[in-house]
Amino acid sequence: MNQQSPISKTQNLSQGYIGKSVPRREDARLLDGAGQFIDNMKLPNMTYSAVLRSPYAHARLLSINTEEALSLKGIVGILTGEDLKGKVGLIRPNWIAGQDIQIPDHPVLAFDKVNYTGDAVAFIVGESREAVQDALEMIEVEYEVLDPIIDEEEAFQEGAVQIHEGIKNNRAGKPLMAWGDYRKAAEEADQIVSLKLINNRLIPSAMEPRVLLASFDKYSEKLEMYIPSQVPHLHRRWISDTLGWPEHKIHLKVPDIGGGFGAKMHLYVEEILVAYAAKHFGCPIKWTETRSESHLSTHHGRAHTQYIDLAIKNDGTVLGLKLKLFANMGAYLSNMATGVPSVNCTYFANGNYNIPNYFAQTNLIFTNTVPVDAYRGAGRPEATYLIERSMDKVAEVLGMDPLEVRRKNVIQKFPHNFYDSGSFLKCMEEAKSSFKYEEKRELQAQAREEGRYLGIGIINYTESCGMAPSTVLGNLGFDRGGYESAEIKVHPDGKVTLFTGSTPQGHGHHTSFAQIVASELQIPMEDVEVITGDTEAVPVGVGTYNSRSMAVGGSAAKICAGKVIEKAKKYAALKLRCKEESVLYQEGHFFTEENEKRIPFAKIARMAAVPHHKPEDVTPGLDQLYTHDPISMSSPNGSHAAFVEVDIETGKIEILEYLAVDDAGNLINPMLAEGQIHGGIAQGIGQALYENTVYSEDGQLLSGSLLDYAVPKADQLPSFKTDFLYTPTQTNPLGAKGIGEAGTIAAPPALVSAVCDALKPFGIDHIDMPLTPPKIWKAIQSASQDKGGAS
Amino acid sequence: MKKHTVKITVNGKEHQSEIDARTLLTHFLRDHLNITSTNIGCDTSQCGACTVLVNGESVKSCTQLAVQMDGAEITTAANDQISDIEVIKRNFHESHGLQCGYCTPGMVMSSHELLKQNSNPSDDEIRDALHGNICRCTGYHNIIEAVKKSAAEIREGAAS
Ligand code: FES
Ligand code: FES
């Protein structure tokens, strides 16, 4: 992999369906409202359930009285922490990143103490939605309320309330990441520039809340559960570990999911409760989260306080970066929680730039809040934001053009230690020219004369996608495989079914994976069926996160299809009376150079399925199973640009233009890729301008519903301009890098950069997200007072 | 609890049911009639995933009690008899206006109501009309495209 990948402006992939914007086959049922969402399903004798949650952020649990609730008509039973003791294990994290990580006990139902508002205290099963709701009100719980701690920096102070016994300073760990010699860089620098940034806490907010439906067959001792999971095979393992039930007796099924964004790949207490209770009470159980409950129980994202020092030369060269990070973990360690800040963020905090000296310390801090874990982007948004804000700060301090500072430091040689390939400078240049940067600067100057405040933000990002290979993940303490599976069943009529471990939540896998397999097998797409999200139908799998579907799962499918053809050639050789090596395959037919006869794929499929004539040492059938463990991750990159106007009377921001230039290598279905970019930008703009998770001092979640948590609406977003460069990665046979998280990573710094640029005349160089009108207005007011008005 | 008898027509078919006074229209459609084109995304009437037409006007079915609907005509995204709705669905499909599809039936119904009232809406008017429907996946860009294309097709259809 030492030759540089070509950067190109057009995708050169005319192979079959690959590179074509094929409309999705999953749409019809969704448009009719006939989607297979779990809450739409019913099982015979199904019961309903609800979780009683702690109303306090931090309290001792003195007693629970369920008698009255149990006597209510239609109540099947109630479980409390005491009932589960010794029968159900603890919820364990799945990524232990760094030495000496402290893992506090996380029981499925609290028994002596609750640690956040929303912590699960009891589980009710009943015959109707209404019955369980009524019973919720009748359970009596006696609490001794303790002081809560919400802020990650306060929680770290000496003398702060301690949440978990034996965990000093509420610190789960302090992983380090370093290269070069930051201290020396600081000595050699002309100056040190410092910033403090808050990366706001977010609620993932998939439109479908979490929902589960489980039944247990006492004869086969088998659990069947519908679960909205991005990683069904991993969920099966975690449920097995927690309950101590054999993995092969757990069958998870994932039908349509109404969005995941990372939050649906963590292990939650409800999954254990529903599974356990289905066996315990002997009835099928459904659990459906309400939206308000979702805010209190589905894991949050981001939540960092970051201190940054940059050692710089006066010509704009960055010699070193020092980072001190306080990452709010919430009350317990969720699945990937430790790795998100201490690997995904700090490992990529140099962004697209050469920073020879680096030192980062991450403090993983417990607070009395909902656990924080990976949410779309998972660490890379936090990293990109900090480095891009830093570049702007350097430009500000030195009076340089922000793009010049970036150009000075940008990585131009690939492969690079961190990145397999990239088009960092090219993307920035592309963005600069299609955004008409110079023209916009002129517009900005003119507008300022008229008392209008326009701002431009152009930022760069890169990310690492397709977590792999397995051996590296092992070294990082990430307890998962880095592979993905593909199994192709070839039916006797020549049609095929692909079973993939990659599990969509609106991505369109049923279309894009069919494109890959149909192209490789050179058969019509209609002849390819795609099956996902079933731990029995799909033999093995890892799942969907870290934008790994195409790069890892798609590659597995392509290689697997190639193996089908290889085997088919053995049968074809028999038919063509030639050596296997001389069999050629084109346009869905087998032939040889010598032999005019062309045998269609379907004919060989039939021959292999009914193997009356079979090559020696070849098994019947053409089916193949392949697990692909890539040689490394790949790194998409891009540059996003925002043009905004700030109304200084009201603090309101209008986005005049948003441009995304992305390079994710080869795109299998450009229309779907663009859709991923759009959705990502929307969530990124959400973080920058609207979304924030606010707790009161006593630990009540004030952003408790969609009334109080501002997910962007149609009238709050602009239309987006998108553009692509194509630098195929050599790390997988598709050359695809991953695109799912790009927008979420790039949009926050682009927006904040643009708004701060607009407010430059007020001497404002940074405001923490979300940039709400009152915040902007206040910043302008206090800046005007300090400086005696805008110049 | 006292039961109430209601007669409600859904997608052209009349249903008579006995229900609790507290039954929400959305639960009535989903639980009693097994009509799943009213997804539930929130409990504060913010998301619009449950939008249906009641006597031709769009309504969030999670904010109405089923007993209030006695005698009403309800249309959901599952109705394939209304050609404008079919045009909108096709354009959502062709413009990639949906990803997970959870918001989609509600989006289709709100778009349908908009286009009945305004056959040639501007981008801003579309965005305004859809501000009660949240989509977390698409960023709305393609939804706006889908509605614009539908408007043009429906206008052409009406003109010819
Ligand atoms: S479920 Fe009705 S508006 Fe959200
Ligand atoms: S398509 Fe997923 S919420 Fe709109």
pLDDT (0 to 100) of residue A418: 83
User: What gap in Å lies between CA A570 and CA A567, rounded to an integer?
Assistant: 5
> How far, in Å, from the CA of B100 to the mean position of ligand 2?
5
Query: Residue B41: which of A291, A681, A682 has the nearest Cβ?
Result: A291
Query: Residue B42: which of A257, A506, A705 has the nearest Cβ?
Result: A705
Written as six digits, the tokens of A676 are 């991923």
Ligand 1 contacts CB of residue B59 (under 6 A): no
Asked if A258 is an interface residue toward chain B (Cβ–Cβ < 8 A), one would say yes
* Sequential DSSP letters for B79-91: --S-HHHHHHHHH
pLDDT (0 to 100) of residue A3: 59
pLDDT (0 to 100) of residue A467: 82
CA A700 from centre of chain: 27
Burial (CB count within 10 angstroms: exposed 0-12, middle 13-18, buried 19+), residue A438: exposed
Q: Which residue of B has its CA nearest to A508?
A: B99
Pocket test for ligand 2, best of A24, A207, A683 (most atoms within 8 A of CB): A207
pLDDT (0 to 100) of residue A464: 85
Cα distances (Å, whole numbers) of residue A499 to A542, A553, A736: 13, 10, 20
> How far, in Å, from the CA of B73 to the mean position of ligand 1?
20
Asked if A717 is an interface residue toward chain B (Cβ–Cβ < 8 A), one would say yes
Identify the residue among B111, B122, B136 best suited for mutation to test binding to A, counting A beta carbons within 10 A and taking the highest: B136
- Ligand 2 neighbours (beta carbon < 6 A): A 207, 258-259, 506; B 98-104, 135-138
Check pLDDT > 80 for residue B106.
yes
CA A705 from centre of chain: 22
> How far, in Å, from the CA of A449 to the mean position of ligand 1?
46
Cα distances (Å, whole numbers) of residue A549 to A230, A455, A465, A486, A543: 11, 36, 9, 12, 8
Question: What confidence tens digit (pLDDT) does each residue in A589-629 have?
Answer: 999 999 889 999 999 999 999 999 999 999 999 999 999 99
Nearest CA to ligand 2 atom 3: B135
Contacts of A544 in chain B (CB under 8 A): none
A694 Cβ contact partners less than 8 Å away, ≥ 6 residues apart: A701, A702, A703, A708
C-beta atoms surrounding B120 within 10 Å: 11
pLDDT (0 to 100) of residue A789: 47
Flag if A208 and B41 touch (Cβ within 8 Å): yes
Angle at A140 between CA A137 and CA A143, to 5 degrees: 120
Nearest CA to ligand 1 atom 3: B45
Contacts of A682 in chain B (CB under 8 A): 136, 138-140
- Averaged pLDDT in 10-residue chunks for chain A of 791 residues: 69 80 96 95 97 98 97 97 96 93 97 96 96 96 98 96 96 96 98 98 98 98 98 98 98 97 98 98 98 98 98 98 98 97 95 97 98 97 98 98 98 90 96 98 97 98 88 91 96 98 96 98 97 97 93 96 98 95 96 92 98 94 96 93 97 98 96 98 98 97 97 98 94 93 97 98 96 97 71 43
Flag if A129 and B27 touch (Cβ within 8 Å): yes
ipTM of the complex: 0.97
Identify the residue among A20, A27, A691 best suited for mutation to test binding to B, counting B beta carbons within 10 A and taking the highest: A27
Alpha helices (runs of H) in A341-423, residue ranges in sequence order: 380-398, 402-409
> How far, in Å, from the CA of B97 to the mean position of ligand 2?
9
pLDDT (0 to 100) of residue A725: 96
Written as six digits, the tokens of A337 are 């929680």
What is the residue type of A389? R
Ligand 1 contacts CB of residue B49 (under 6 A): yes
pLDDT (0 to 100) of residue A468: 83
Asked if B143 is an interface residue toward chain A (Cβ–Cβ < 8 A), one would say yes
Flag if A711 and B136 touch (Cβ within 8 Å): yes
Q: Which atom of ligand 1 is nearest to the CA of B63?
A: 2
Interface of A with B in 493-532 (CB under 8 A): 505-508
A442 Cβ contact partners less than 8 Å away, ≥ 6 residues apart: none
C-beta atoms surrounding A567 within 10 Å: 19
Asked if A656 is an interface residue toward chain B (Cβ–Cβ < 8 A), one would say no
Contacts of B30 in chain A (CB under 8 A): 39-40
Asked if B74 is an interface residue toward chain A (Cβ–Cβ < 8 A), one would say no
Nearest CA to ligand 2 atom 4: B135
pLDDT (0 to 100) of residue A788: 52
Flag if A261 and B136 touch (Cβ within 8 Å): yes
Q: Which residue of B has its CA nearest to A294?
A: B42
Pocket test for ligand 1, best of B46, B52, B131 (most atoms within 8 A of CB): B46
